Amino acid sequence: MKRLPLDDSFKVNRNPVTLREIVLDKLRSAIMNFQLLPGDRLVERDLCERLGVSRTSVREALRHLESEGLVEFAGSKGPRVAIITLEDARDIYELRCVLEGLIVQLFTLNAKPKDIRALEKALEDNRKTLESGDLQQVLDSVQGFYDVLLEGSGNQIAATQLRQLQARISYLRATSVSQVNRRGTSNKEMEHIVEAIKSGDPLAAHQASVDHVRAAAKVALDYLRSKQAEPGEVRDFVTPIALQEPRIGR
């Protein structure tokens, strides 16, 4: 038998985005956009039919979303969209105050000119998206702003800790920016952060960051309070004491 030459049909076509990642993005977006609401049951059979994929792909995506805190497995009833309680949200916002305040301080001390330019561009992109973009585009633009801060801070441990909370932060962010009049004020607060960073004052930048988180927390917590009837007393949101100026730099 004559050997045929290997042609281009033999080449493996590499798709950088796997089916699992597509399913994961679809389900995460449905939660972020409130198409799937907290407490909604996630029946694998129904999701397979809606998405047109196998149970394995759906099951893997649900397990990943569980690790992000967006899905929870409720015993024999199976998976459901996680319910973020008032206490959960309050804890997340308090931790955001600490971690984001530190990140902004360190960025102020360590950022190079190219990092400042990237932050200004991210702020402008966010402003434009807030004016005309849908909710997912808004969330992406805000995350783009924080990605610049994380990269330029020089503290990868703090950045990793914040990224581990990213999905739940994004969900709460979606809750706040979807409320009336929050979009415009959110960008103004981010402007104050950038102005403080450009002035070279890490403590002012820290305060601007804390003010931004506090404003977002008020909107989101008021919304969750109106939707959830929790028994017992719920503690107040606590703003961490302003940190001292870090002594370290690059």
Tokens linked to 68: 């992000």
3 state SS of 76: helix
What average pLDDT does this structure show over 15-25?
A: 79
The secondary structure of 149-215, three-state, reads HHHHHCCHHHHHHHHHCHHHHHHHHHHHHCCCCHHHHHHHHHHHHHHHHHHCCHHHHHHHHHHHHHH
In whole angstroms, what is the distance from residue 100 CA to residue 221 CA? 19
- Give the pLDDT confidence of 172-190 residue by residue, as tens digits: 988 888 776 777 799 999 9
HSE-up of 5 (CA within 13 Å, CB side)?
A: 2
Query: Would you state the CATH architecture of domain 8-81?
Result: Orthogonal Bundle (1.10)
Instruction: Give pLDDT tens digits for 33-80.
Output: 888 888 899 999 999 999 999 999 999 999 999 999 999 997 778 899
- Closest to 152 (Cα-Cα) out of 124, 122, 116, 204: 116
DSSP 80: E
The SS3 call for residue 125 is: helix
CA distance 196 to 204: 6
State the maximum Cα–Cα separation within the chain, in Å, rounded to a whole number. Answer: 83
Q: How confident is the model at residue 32 (pLDDT cuts 50, 70, 90)?
A: confident
Average pLDDT, whole number, for the chain?
A: 84
pLDDT of residue 236: 56
| Residue that wins the pLDDT comparison between 14 and 62 | 62
- pLDDT value at residue 176: 85
Q: Is 111 helix (H, G, I), strand (E, B) or coil?
A: coil
For the whole model, what pTM was predicted? 0.77
Residue 6 has pLDDT above 60, yes or no: no
Q: What is the pLDDT of residues 99-143, one digit of tens each?
A: 999 999 999 999 999 999 999 999 999 999 988 878 888 889 999
Which residues are CB-neighbours of 161 under 8 A, at least 6 positions away? 99
Give the domain ranges of the chain: 8-81, 86-227
What fold, for 86-227?
A: Four Helix Bundle (Hemerythrin (Met), subunit A) (1.20.120)
CA 142, CA 125: separation in Å to the nearest integer?
9
